[in-house]
Structure 1
Amino acid sequence: MRRAGGAIFLVTLASGEAVIAKEGVGPGATAAEATGLRWLGEYGDVPTPRVHGHDEQWLVMQYLPPGAPTVEAAEEFGRGLAKLHLRGADAYGCPPPGGPVDAWMGVAPMRNEPCPDWPTFYAEHRVLPYVRDCVDQGLFTTDDAGLFEKLGDRLGELGVPAEPPARIHGDLWSGNVHWGTDRVWLIDPAAHGGHREADLAMLQLFGTSLLGSILGGYAEGAEDEGAPLAEGWRDRVPLHQLFPLLMHAAVFGGGYARQALSAARSCLR
């Protein structure tokens, strides 16, 4: 599954407007990103760049000048993200309306297949496909794969609350939290119907500026919406980080495979 990313250009139009032209990394990638941006930005809870258009190879969208992180912007982002999640989705695993089933997370293929519940979705479309890929690459033994299969069988016992599916970004690491001149924007989504704890876990995986302020704003926003996070959500962070760790292992190799195994073992203790 080792893949190179697509090219990205900053282009100035004849009108003087600056736009980003981004090459898709594979079939359906531009459509998945375009529909994801529109879906996430539908209500303006957290802004997303305006999509000018796309074809099978290129996506053209608004250029966002960078700014510096501030506590005020972080708290506003957290509150908006809580509201965005509660806009909901048709099902766990569903793509954004009009988006492809076969989508992408960064340079890795990712399938958005509607499922009846979170354990089914997470095991079948987020954990086990990448475990199998890692086995094929020699990163996991059959015994390692058995550990993940056991985890998949027990997902319903691990305390993840049976909430309605949330409208999530899906790849919310620090690089996709864009600090603009006065607020935070969401970029480069792997959007789908998922569990809102997944986005919060992703924010914590690679380090995000002013994370405490973001999470504080999120908690406040969720409370205001009458939907506070379930008790113990912080303890479930390793469980939700399994998917991005496994995806990174399949694309980038061994260190991530060891992290994924460690996370799986901690979840089964």
Structure 2
Amino acid sequence: MPRLAANLSMMFHEWPFLERFKAAKEAGFTAVEYLFPYEHPAEAMGAALQDNDLTQALFNLPPGDWAAGERGLATQPARRDEFRTGVATALRYAAATGVKRLHVMSGHGASDDKAARAAYADALRFACDQAGPAGIEILIEPINGRDMPGYFMNDFDLAVDLITELGLPNLKLQFDIYHRQIIRGDVLTGLKTLLPLIAHVQIASVPARAEPGSGELDDIRVLQELDALGYTGFVGCEYRPAAGTLAGLAWREKL
């Protein structure tokens, strides 16, 4: 059975954010993830987890100005100091929540831009170095260009190349089944081939990004195959419920 983590940025919108932890617990989840915790004090995030006996599976480093369209700072040499400040902020929240995996959004840039790649590599080295003593893994995630045009980390080969090139023990792959299907397809082969690099998995239906099992993939079979491969990490439910969070949770009964 996969270790499902409710994504509180996309699910449980029927509740204010800090009340979503309790709602997720009452709906049967034992873990949560979300995009960003930074609008709330670190202590409040830790208390919400502790009060509801939940594990924090993942969140992202600060992305820059999200409302203005920024999707990470790591590929921008001129924002190096701001990125490093963001690492310190994320680690402070990690200490409060006990999370062991942080996702570094790359930011925008052409995948063949050598300066962007060099800045990204430098940012990942720094993040891994800072996170390592706390036992925290740094993750990179290929995101499809349809949902996020111009995003630098837009392909699985690029992710594998960077992880291999840098050779950092706590630099891992975040494998989003939704993005994989749009970028490359061949989801089961990808999971099997890349499993040694994978530290976190996410799922949503394709193309609507709704509940698993409601789109073109047999998501239930994919999750069962993931179990069969011996994956023991979390599977983040990063989907937008089609007709209310609680009404859309029946898919879990098929696992």
Which one has the largest radius of gyration? 1
Same-fold status (TM-score > 0.5): no
Higher relative contact order (CA 8 A, sep 6+): 1
